[in-house]
Amino acid sequence: MSYLFTSQRELPSYRHLEAEPLSGALGAMISGVDLADDLSRDVINEIYAALLEFKVLFLRDQEMTDEQHLRLARKFGMPQGPGSIPQVEGYPMIRLQRMDEYQTIGGDVNYHSDDSYRDYPSRMSILRGLTMPIGGGNTIWCDMEKAYASLSGPMKTFLEGLTAEHTLSKNFGQGILEGGGAKAYEDMMKRNPPVVHPVIRTHPETGRKCLYVNEMLTSRFLELNKEESDALLEMLLEHSYQPEHECRFFWRDNSVAIWDNRCTQHRGINDFTPAFRLMHRIAIVDDRRPSLDPDNEPRLPYDRNADFIRVEDLFVNKPELTYHVDGEEPAQGNGAATESGNGAADPEDEYAAEVDRKFLEKLNGNRHGIAFTAGAAARLEKIPRMFRGAAISAVIAEAQKQGSTEANISILDAVQAKRRGG
Ligand SMILES: [Fe+2]
């Protein structure tokens, strides 16, 4: 099955709605339906058919209540329960996305497929723009079927044998670590352990293959070494995110977007803060894991009487099996990565006693001639491995900037304060 742009395909006509394509790859403006209505199965089936055809649907002037938003979502499947994103009061399954001068758009500016860090990610998302900024705050979607289709044959064959890790820590780890300390980071990872998905997945309904790695959440390929993995990921992301694969939506108040997370990715554009923006989103869980062979995937049992699926149930590998947290860190270690140890004792001495001498020696072998104190090394050692390299480079750069040949705790504090925006 070769990929055809919208203009190259024979497009279906619908009985209950009109669909006007928005770009060559994906997206259509839908008119003729009012999503606030209690829509019949026929209409819902047509909306779903249009979703499979265009991958993302946009509707204007859809004023509705949270109750109506939820009723609509339930017609497509089971909403996902409360996770780490704030929720609308009284509606634990509706995500609140509120931006103003204090709360600016964060990780959403990186391309992603919703919830790919779970074993059972979201099948589709329904996002309502309630109060939208004038001019800015567009969202871009990327067609990952097209991204796959435009790879060469040998590359497709190579990628089919690979799996990739998806983890929240890639995009949010550093912020949680610096803002909440090591304990907050470990709690986050315990609740959201890394998961593994195939790099190429088959869409369970269209049968089409899609590339399933994303900028925000995919951290590495399990079968490759780090050098290969970093280079390949960079190449695939650069290949995917190009205008020929994308469409861009300009929101107005009461616009709605409905998208298929299995074959698309999206990202926000932060060109509006500090203007106010308010959006409500419901994620509908897929009952099959991303797979090359979805027909043989076990189905996630939906409890039709439940209000939503609990987030904990969306992980196959339970947290305790994949991320050990309890009882390893000495009590004073918790939060050490962000605290400067303002007690009476000299923080250098306080931490120095704990340092692993081998780690200190390795640090002091750096080619910049910067000597690390034992205290600074002990603090760096507490930073999770995946962030440690970046922290070490930043400390060396700061020491050089200060004209110092020594990397001590006060230099590390300066680096961490700068990262927190201090
Ligand atoms: Fe998203």
How confident is the model over 161-191, as pLDDT tens digits?
Answer: 899 999 999 988 888 887 778 888 888 888 8
The CA 343 to ligand 1 mean position distance, Å, reads 43
- pLDDT bucket at 343, cuts 50 / 70 / 90: very low
**Contacts of 171 by beta carbon, 8 Å cutoff, 6+ apart:** 107, 110, 216, 217
411 and 274 both lie in a single domain: no
Mean pLDDT (whole number) for 323-333: 38
93 and 229 both lie in a single domain: yes
Res 255 pLDDT > 70: yes
- pLDDT reported for residue 391: 74
Amino acid at 83: G
In a domain, 162, yes or no: yes
CATH of the domain at 226: 3.60.130.10
How does the average pLDDT of the chain come out, rounded? Answer: 87
Of the residues 95, 114, 119, 289, which is catalytic? 114
Amino acid at 343: G
CB distance 283 to 95 below 8 Å: yes
241 and 388 both lie in a single domain: no
Instruction: Return the minimum-mean-pLDDT range out of 273-277, 366-370, 386-390.
Output: 386-390
The span from the CA of 422 to the CA of 412, in Å, is 13
Q: How far is CA 39 from CA 33, 68, 85, 163, 347, in A?
A: 9, 10, 29, 40, 64
Mean pLDDT (whole number) for 69-77: 96
In a domain, 218, yes or no: yes
Q: How far is CA 56 from CA 212, 242, 258, 343, in A?
A: 17, 17, 6, 55
Is the model's pTM score more than 0.85?
no
400 and 267 both lie in a single domain: no
In a domain, 328, yes or no: no
* Structural domain that includes position 346: 338-419
Cα end-to-end span (Å), the chain: 54
CB distance 181 to 335 below 8 Å: yes
In a domain, 333, yes or no: no
- Active-site residue, 114 included: yes
252 and 349 both lie in a single domain: no
- Active-site residue, 379 included: no
In a domain, 227, yes or no: yes
The CA 292 to ligand 1 mean position distance, Å, reads 23
Instruction: Return the minimum-mean-pLDDT range out of 183-187, 245-249, 308-312, 314-318.
Output: 314-318
- pLDDT reported for residue 329: 41
354 and 316 both lie in a single domain: no
- pLDDT reported for residue 356: 83
258 and 401 both lie in a single domain: no
The CA 191 to ligand 1 mean position distance, Å, reads 19
Of the residues 95, 112, 267, 289, which is catalytic? 112
162 and 237 both lie in a single domain: yes
What is the number of domains present in the chain? Answer: 2
- Active-site residue, 69 included: no
Report the candidate in 194, 239, 235 with the shortest Cα–Cα distance to residue 218: 194
The span from the CA of 300 to the CA of 308, in Å, is 13
Spell out where 82-234 has E strands.
87-88, 91-99, 122-131, 139-143, 163-166, 195-198, 200-202, 209-211, 218-221
Of the residues 69, 128, 166, 281, which is catalytic? 281
Mean pLDDT (whole number) for 387-413: 84
316 and 344 both lie in a single domain: no
Of the residues 69, 118, 128, 266, which is catalytic? 266
The CA 369 to ligand 1 mean position distance, Å, reads 44
The CA 48 to ligand 1 mean position distance, Å, reads 19
In a domain, 329, yes or no: no
In a domain, 332, yes or no: no
47 and 143 both lie in a single domain: yes
Mean pLDDT (whole number) for 374-403: 78
303 and 402 both lie in a single domain: no
Of the residues 322, 357, 383, which one is the last residue of a structural domain? 322
What is the DSSP track for 234-277? HHHHHHHSSGGGEEEE---TT-EEEEETTTEEEEE---STTS-E
The CA 259 to ligand 1 mean position distance, Å, reads 10
Mean pLDDT (whole number) for 46-61: 98
312 and 354 both lie in a single domain: no
In a domain, 278, yes or no: yes
Of the residues 261, 293, 322, which one is the last residue of a structural domain? 322
Residue keyed to tokens 């904990």: 312
Res 341 pLDDT > 80: no
The CA 199 to ligand 1 mean position distance, Å, reads 19
